[in-house]
Chain A
Amino acid sequence: MKPAAWIPAWIPAIAVAALAWAAPAAAHDTPIALLTLKETQPGTFVERWTYSSSLNIAAPTPVYPEHCVAEAPRVVCGELGLTGDFSFEKLGERYSAAVVRLMPLEGPKRSYTFTAAQPVITLTASGILPLSHIVAAYIPLGFEHIMLGIDHLLFVLGLMLLVSSPWMLVKTITAFTIAHSITLGLATFGVIGVPEGAVNALIALSIVILAVEVLKLRRGRAGWSATYPWVVAFGFGLLHGLGFASALTGIGLSQANLPAALLFFNIGVELGQLAFVAVVLAVAWSHRQLRAELPRWTETVAVYGTGTLATVWFYDRFGAIVAPLVT
C-alpha cells in the first residue's frame, strides 16, 4: 500500500500542532459553571456555585427574573417562584456553559443549560423544556467541546493521514463516530464510569500510537492499522467517547432531558468533527491544485512533532494521576 500522499501531513499538522502547543494537558476541558438553587422556603432559594473548570475562574453573573431579589446567597422570588426570563452575563467569554440545577421544595430536580447560543431561558412552573432549547444549547456545546479538544482533533488528523483513499476515510471516520457515540451514551447514562484522568492520559497515548503508525506507513511499512484503519478508529473511538462524556456527566442533567441532550450534544460533536475534516481536505486539495506542495521530510517532521507533543501530554496526564498516590 502506498503512503497516504493524497493528504500532505504538513498542511494540517502545522496548524494543529501550533494550536496543540497552545493548549495545556487538560486540553479538552469545556469550562462549565454549575449553579445549584435550593428552595429553602416557598419562593426563596439559596445559591451554591460549583466550578467544573480546571482553571477555577470566576463564575458568570446570573440575571434572575425581574420579580426576584438576589442578595447572595439568597434569592427571593415570592409567590411567582423562579419563573420568567433567566440569563447569564457575558456567558461564553470565560465559560462554555452555565448549568442551573433547581431543587424545589416539591417536585423533581430540574437542570437548565445556558450557552452563548442560548443565553436566556424562560423558566416555567412545570419545568418542561422545549426541544428548541435543548437543540440550541447542546449542539453548540458539542461543537465547542471537540473544537477545544485539540487532542480529539489531532487523533482525527492522524486517522486522515493513515488512510489511503477517500472511501477508506469515510469508513474510518464512521467507525470513529459510532464508537465514541457508544461510550458517550453509556457513560452519560451512568452504565460505565472511568476516571477522567486515566481516560485523558490514554487519549494522549492514542495519538502517540497513531503518530507511530503514520510514520511506519510513510516509510513503506504498512501495518494492520494502515490496512484496517477503521478498526483502530473504532477501538480508540470508544476511548474518546469517554472523554466527550466528561462534558455532559459533570452537568447533572435531569433524567427527563438526558436523552435529547445526549443526542444533540453528539450531533454537535459530529458537526465539529466533519467541519474539521472538510477544512483539512479542502486545504490539502487547494495546495495540490496550486502545486504548492512541500518535500516529504517536512511532513515527517510534522508527524514527529505531533507525536512528541502527545507524548508530553501523556506523561503530564499520567503524572497527574500518579502524583497523589506517591505523595
Chain B
Amino acid sequence: MRILTVVYTLIALALLLSFPEPASAHLVSTRFGELYSGLIHPLTALQHLVPWLGLGLLGGLLGNRTSRWVLLTFPLSAGAGALLAGGLPATAAIDHVNLFSFIVLGLLVALSVRLNRPTFLGLTVIFGLSHGFANGTPDLSGVPLLLYAVGVLLAAYVLIAIATAVTQLVSQRAAWGTIAIRAAGSWIVAIGLVFGGYSLTAGV
C-alpha cells in the first residue's frame, strides 16, 4: 500500500502542476470543456465501454492483491494513450488491437482464467494504451489535449474501479455470482465478434 500511496500522491502532484492558469480558459469556454469531452467519450462508445467492463470483470475475479493494481495501471495507460494520439498518426492497427481486446478479455472472463499479476497488469497496460490512443484526437494540441487525456484517465479510473469492485462483491457473496460473470464474459466475446465483423466489413 505504501507504494500505491506514493504513486497516487505523485499523480495528484503531477495533475496539479500540469494545469497552468492560461489552460483554465478551455474548461469554461467550451461546453463541457476538453476534460469533460475526454471523460464522456469512452463511456458513450460501445467499442470502449464493453472491453473496459470486461477488464473490470476479469480484475474482479482475480482477487484484491492483483485487482487493485488495475486502478493504477489502466487509467494511467489510457491517459498516456490519449496523449500519444495527439502526436502520432492514426493507424488501423490500434482498432484491430481494440477489437482483439473484446475477444481476449471476454474469453479470459468466460473461462475464468487465473492470470498471474504481471500478465494481467501487462494486458491492462497494452489495452489501456490502445483504447486511450483510439480515444485521443490529433485535433487537440498542448494543454487542451492534456485536459482531454486527464478526462479519459478519469473515465477509465471510475469505470474500472466500480466494475472491479462490483464483480468482486458479486463473485464472493453470491453462489451464482461467478457463473453470471462468466456468462457476461461470453457475451463480451459475442459482442466483440459481431462488432468486429461489422467493423471489418465496413472497412475499419
- Residues of A whose CB lies within 8 Å of any CB of B are 10, 14-15, 17-19, 21-24, 26-27, 29, 31, 53, 55, 57, 92-96, 116, 144, 147-148, 279, 282-283, 285-287, 289-295, 298, 301-302, 305
Interface string of B41-73 (1 = CB under 8 A from A): 000000000000000000000001001100100
- Whether B15 sits at the interface, judged by CB under 8 Å, is yes
Contact partner of A57 (CB less than 8 A), chosen from B23, B29, B64, B161, is B29
**Closest Cβ of chain A: how far from B145's Cβ, in Å?**
13
Are A289 and B25 in contact, CB atoms less than 8 angstroms apart?
Answer: no
Chain B residue at minimum C-beta to C-beta distance from A11:
B161
Are B161 and A148 in contact, CB atoms less than 8 angstroms apart?
Answer: no
Are A144 and B165 in contact, CB atoms less than 8 angstroms apart?
Answer: no
Chain B residue at minimum C-beta to C-beta distance from A25:
B24
CB contact under 8 A between A286 and B164, given known A18-B19, A23-B28: yes
Are B5 and A22 in contact, CB atoms less than 8 angstroms apart?
Answer: no
Q: Taking A286-B164, A294-B1 as given, write out 10 further A-B residue pairs in contact, using a Cβ cutoff of 8 Å, ordered by the A residue number.
A: A18-B16, A18-B150, A21-B19, A22-B24, A26-B28, A29-B28, A148-B32, A287-B165, A290-B71, A295-B1
Q: Could you tell me the dominant secondary structure of chain B's interface residues?
A: helix
- Residues of B whose CB lies within 8 Å of any CB of A are 1, 4-5, 8-9, 11-12, 15-16, 19, 21, 23-33, 35-36, 64, 67-68, 71, 147, 150, 154, 157-158, 161-162, 164-166, 168-169
A227 vs B169: C-alpha distance when bound (angstroms):
33
Are B4 and A22 in contact, CB atoms less than 8 angstroms apart?
Answer: no
Are B27 and A15 in contact, CB atoms less than 8 angstroms apart?
Answer: no
Are A294 and B169 in contact, CB atoms less than 8 angstroms apart?
Answer: no
Are B28 and A92 in contact, CB atoms less than 8 angstroms apart?
Answer: no
**Closest Cβ of chain A: how far from B127's Cβ, in Å?**
19
CB-CB under 8 A from B26, the residues of chain A are: 22
CB-CB under 8 A from B164, the residues of chain A are: 286, 290
Chain A residue at minimum C-beta to C-beta distance from B2:
A295
A-B contact pairs, 28 of them (CB 8 A): A10-B8, A17-B12, A18-B150, A21-B15, A22-B33, A31-B29, A92-B30, A93-B30, A95-B31, A147-B36, A283-B161, A283-B162, A286-B161, A286-B162, A286-B164, A287-B165, A289-B169, A290-B67, A290-B68, A290-B161, A290-B164, A291-B68, A294-B4, A294-B8, A295-B5, A298-B8, A302-B12, A305-B12
